Amino acid sequence: MLGLIAGSFLATLVLRSPRGETIVAGRSACEHCGKRLDVTELVPVASWLWLRGRCRGCGGRIDPLHPIVEGLCALVGAAALAVAPGVAGVAGAFFGWVLVALAALDLRHFWLPDRLILILLLIAVASWWMDIAPSAFDRFLGAAGGYAALTIVAAAYRLVRKRDGLGAGDAKLFGALGAILGWQALPLVLVGACSVGLFFVAARVIGGQEVVATDRLPLGALLAFAAFPAWIIQQ
């Protein structure tokens, strides 16, 4: 239930923050006609299904990002508490919810906001403070190692290809994942993320689409998708 509510909040954040709009001020309204949503239209997932993804006022399309993010956050919350009942599960749920928001922003805008990555670091610090595994040493090594690893890859790519291949946000995110999961989990997360990425590229080639070296993949989103299963395995 908390996941649905968190998802509802995060979907609004994902849709509004790239436009420079505030999340806290202003009630939810239709983005086409500005109609304020009443209580029955604010129920996560159910409202969207009930209204068949259309605004009741103007019939305009309601972004399916809303129910997708809400559904994912509900699944993340349920999965986290199922594998780790208690404080560790709550920390895991917050971790997963931030990952959902990061993945959605990276998929839509190739944008990994520093503020969200900072929240991941705060979750890592809070978890360490509450004695949740991994140890402080493993977390520190994960943060430093994760950030350094992708920064070195980015620098090497720039040197060889004379253009940017990795966003700065990717290295920061990988470091934050290391702070939460510990350094031991990072190879698995990276291999998982790259496998999913290569799978999509392969599917594009098989589908007859042209693939060139300058095509962009949202590495941050791929890392986020790989990181939550890695956290589940750890429990």
Q: Establish if 60 lies at the interface with Zn ion (CB under 5 A).
A: yes
- The minimum distance between CB 73 and Zn ion, in angstroms, equals 24
Q: Please tell me the count of residues contacting Zn ion according to CB under 5 A.
A: 8
End-to-end CA distance of the chain: 22
Q: Which CB atom, from 33 or from 118, has the smaller least distance to Zn ion?
A: 33
Shorter beta-carbon distance to Zn ion: residue 35 or 108: 35
Q: How far is the CB of 24 from Zn ion (least distance, A)?
A: 22
Binding segment toward Zn ion, per CB under 5 A, in 25-33, 156-164, 177-185, 220-228: 25-33
Distances (CA, A) of 187 to 27, 51, 193: 42, 44, 10
Closer CB to Zn ion, 57 or 165, in the complex? 57
Q: What is the CA radius of gyration of the chain?
A: 19
**CB burial string 34-67: b at 16+ within 10 A, e below:** eeebeeebeebbebbeeeeeebbeeeeebeebbb
- Which CB sits closer to Zn ion, 55 or 143? 55
Residue 26 CB, nearest distance to Zn ion (Å)?
A: 15
Three-state SS at 36: strand
With respect to Zn ion, which residue has the nearer C-beta, 57 or 113? 57
Q: Measured between alpha carbons, how far is 75 from 10 in angstroms, rounded to an integer?
A: 14
Binding flag, residue 29, Zn ion (CB under 5 A): no
Does 54 sit near Zn ion (CB under 5 A)? no
What is the H or E stretch that residue 184 is in? none
Query: Tokens for 122?
Result: 């705060």
Please report how close the Cβ of residue 34 comes to Zn ion at its closest, in angstroms.
7
Selected from 13, 15, 55, 222, the binder of Zn ion by CB under 5 A is 55
Q: Which stretch binds Zn ion (CB under 5 A): 22-30, 42-50, 74-82, 200-208?
A: 22-30
Among positions 10, 13, 15, 30, the unique one binding Zn ion when judged by CB under 5 A: 30
The region that residue 52 occupies, defined by phi over 0 for left and psi between -120 and 50 for alpha, beta otherwise, is left
Q: By C-alpha distance, which of 26, 23, 25 is closest to 12?
A: 23
**The binder of Zn ion chosen from 42, 58, 130, 136 (CB under 5 A):** 58
Contact, 173 vs 117, CB < 8 A?
Answer: yes
Residue from 23, 33, 156, 198 in contact with Zn ion (CB under 5 A): 33
Going from the C-alpha of 67 to that of each of 10, 11, 17, 63, 114, the distances in angstroms are: 11, 8, 18, 8, 25
Binding site for Zn ion (CB under 5 A): 30, 32-33, 35, 55, 57-58, 60
